[in-house]
Structure 1
Amino acid sequence: RIVFLPPYSPHLNPIEESFSSVKAHIRRNWQAAQDSEQPEIYLLEAASTVTSEKARGWIRHSGYI
């Protein structure tokens, strides 16, 4: 049985939570982003804030497990 998500339900979509986490990191550390000579490295650092524990929590919260 396939259960589809409602049309727009970011609270049920774990990837939206991870995007939110990365964007929050960038907002908190915006000066470092502007001072960075390699913005792609800074973006990787921001993405590394998405830990496996956070991902498990978001997936659990969405009801997938």
Structure 2
Amino acid sequence: MLDNLILVSVLGGVVGIGVGFYYKKVFVLTLDKISEIFYKIFFVHNFFKLISDPRQYRGQQIPLNS
């Protein structure tokens, strides 16, 4: 599933850049904006990783028979 997610993300980025160049709208991203985007991506990734495995809480494995 993660492979499909990465593939869809890459294809979406390529299509978005292609459409942007086609319409001659080149968006200049500052380093601040890029770091903000990466922060949001990693925050969402960690959030879904946390809720997908409820035994993981703050990086600790809670035993199943607790």
Q: TM-score, normalised by structure 1?
A: 0.31
Higher strand share: 2
Q: Taking CA–CA contacts closer than 8 Å with sequence separation of 6 or more, which of the two structures ends up with the larger relative contact order?
A: 1
Q: TM-score, normalised by structure 2?
A: 0.31
Rg larger in structure: 2
